[in-house]
Structure 1
Amino acid sequence: MDKKTLFGNIQRKASFLCVGLDTDLAKIPSHLLKEADPIFAFNREIIDKTADFAVAYKPNIAFYEALGPKGWESLQKTLEYIPKDIFTIADAKRGDIGNTSKLYAKAFFEQMDFDSITVAPYMGKDSVSPFLEFKDKWVILLALTSNEGSKDFQVLGTEGGKPLFQQVLEKSQQWGTDDNLMYVVGATRGEKIAEVRKYAPDHFFLVPGVGAQGGSLEEVAKYGMNKSCGLLVNSSRGIIYASEDKDFGDRARVEAEKLQQEMAKLLEQYC
Structure 2
Amino acid sequence: MELTRLVEQIRKKKSFLCIGLDVDLEKIPTHLLKDDDPVFAFNKAIIDATNHLAVALKPNIAFYEALGIKGWESLKKTIEYINENYPELFTIADAKRGDIGNTASMYAKAFFEDLNFDAVTVAPYMGKDSVEPFLAFKEKHTILLALTSNPGAFDFQTKELEGKPLYQNVLETSKTYVNSENLMYVIGATKAEYLKDIREIIPESFLLVPGVGAQGGSLEEVCKYGMNDNVGLLVNSSRGILYASKGEDFAQKAAEKAFELQSQMTKFL
What TM-score do you get using the length of structure 1 for normalisation? 0.97
Q: Could you tell me which amino acid in structure 2 is paired with residue 54 of structure 1?
A: A
Q: Tell me which residue corresponds to 1:99.
A: 102
CA distance in 2, matches of 1:262, 1:188: 18
Q: Tell me which residue corresponds to 2:207.
A: 205
Q: Tell me which residue corresponds to 1:193.
A: 195
Q: Tell me which residue corresponds to 2:75.
A: 75
Alignment length (residue pairs): 266
Q: How does 1:64-213 map to 2 (within 5 A)?
A: 64-82=64-82, 83-159=86-162, 161-175=163-177, 179-213=181-215
Q: Is the 8 A contact 1:2 1:179 kept in 2?
A: no
> Match of 1:100, SS?
helix
Tell me, yes or no, if structure 1 residue 238 matches structure 2 residue 240: yes
CA distance in 1, matches of 2:107, 2:266: 36
Task: Give, in angstroms, the shift of residue 245 of structure 1.
Answer: 1.0
Q: Is the 8 A contact 2:135 2:180 kept in 1?
A: no
> Match of 1:10, SS?
helix
Q: Tell me which residue corresponds to 1:55.
A: 55
CA distance in 1, matches of 2:107, 2:179: 21
Identity among equivalent positions (%) equals 64
Deviations 1:199-223 (A, max 9, x none): 1100000000001111111111011
Tell me, yes or no, if structure 1 residue 254 matches structure 2 residue 263: no
Structure 1 residues 155 and 205: CA distance shift in structure 2, 3 A: same
What TM-score do you get using the length of structure 2 for normalisation? 0.97
Q: 5+ residue gaps in structure 1?
A: none
Deviations 1:13-42 (A, max 9, x none): 110000000000011000000000000000
Q: 5+ residue gaps in structure 2?
A: none
Q: Is the 8 A contact 2:174 2:180 kept in 1?
A: no
CA distance in 1, matches of 2:111, 2:181: 19
Q: Tell me which residue corresponds to 1:20.
A: 20
Task: Give, in angstroms, the shift of residue 74 of structure 1.
Answer: 0.3
Task: Give, in angstroms, the shift of residue 75 of structure 1.
Answer: 0.3
CA distance in 1, matches of 2:180, 2:9: 17
CA distance in 1, matches of 2:222, 2:194: 10
Q: Is the 8 A contact 1:187 1:193 kept in 2?
A: no
> Match of 1:188, SS?
helix
Q: CA RMSD in A?
A: 0.9
Q: Is the 8 A contact 1:158 1:164 kept in 2?
A: yes
Q: Could you tell me which amino acid in structure 1 is paired with residue 12 of structure 2?
A: R
> Match of 2:133, SS?
helix
